[in-house]
Amino acid sequence: MPPPPFRPPPGYARVRVVGSFDELVTTPFADGVNALCWPRTLAGDFSEIVAQLGDGEDITTLEEARLRALPLSAAGRTAVATLLEDQQLLRARGLSPSLDCIRRYPRDEPGAPVSTDVYSFHADSATAPTDTYLCTYAGAASEGLRHEEARRCVDVPELRAALLARFGGPDNGEFRDYLREHCYDLHYVPIPSAQPFSFGLGHLWRIAVEYPDSPVPPCVHRAPETLPGQPPRLLLIS
């Protein structure tokens, strides 16, 4: 049975749903909207692709030739066609999408006061205007957190104190440089009542990135935990 159509979680004014790829790429981020979602119910069997890839590296980037060489059913081939079309759409806009089969991402060293791996809620950042596009086709979907329900780790007094202790100096400009260099300032914790939401499967998202003079706050998001025994994820990211 196809999944229900995507609806933004109640009260989530920062997601705007769009009706086409063109609308997804041309709608400006404004009025606090920092995530655009083009909801889709995709035909084809994406799980079959993942199953055919078998065991492999933690992260495998899938090139067109590899996808086309997989021994697939008609449903699997339909899924491949969609994977290639999505990349083509993004490339035609000058973007550089990557399609990855993800078994696990690298994790932080244990004991760090603030986690800075992608399993931790974070904002993507850049020095110039840009956006992140993403779509989960199979496996666990990426997760988002409303800006109102997110606090920067460096603004949480206990976490800031722990980072300061690790830095070993006063809370000054050098410390702020240290926070930036280690990406501590890009990571967030949910407030106790927060309700993170799923980006769902098949929907193509464009989310706001933190860069100088961005008109909206960045869209806080994270990779889902991949538990032992769970199938790998199939993720498009640009």
Write out the residues near Fe ion by the rule CB under 5 A: 124
Cβ 71 to Fe ion shortest distance, Å: 33
- Exposure class string for 126-141: b at 16+ Cβ within 10 A, else e: eeeeebbbbbbbbbbb
Which residue, judged by CB position, is nearest to Fe ion in the bound state?
124
Nearer to Fe ion by Cβ, of 17 and 126: the residue is 126
CA distance to 28, 41, 140, 164, 207, per residue, from 85 (Å)? 23, 15, 22, 48, 20
Nearer to Fe ion by Cβ, of 80 and 204: the residue is 204
* Mode of pairing for the β-strands spanning 15-17 and 35-38: parallel
Write phi, then psi, for 198 (nearest 5 degrees).
-90, 140
Nearer to Fe ion by Cβ, of 78 and 196: the residue is 196
Nearer to Fe ion by Cβ, of 49 and 216: the residue is 216
Cβ 222 to Fe ion shortest distance, Å: 7
Nearer to Fe ion by Cβ, of 70 and 194: the residue is 194
Number of C-beta neighbours around residue 9 at 10 A: 12
d(CA 188, CA 168): 22
Cβ 69 to Fe ion shortest distance, Å: 30
Cβ 35 to Fe ion shortest distance, Å: 12
> Three-class SS of residue 90?
helix
Cβ 140 to Fe ion shortest distance, Å: 15
Strand order in the sheet with 15-17: 15-17, 35-38, 204-208, 131-138, 233-237, 98-102, 59-61
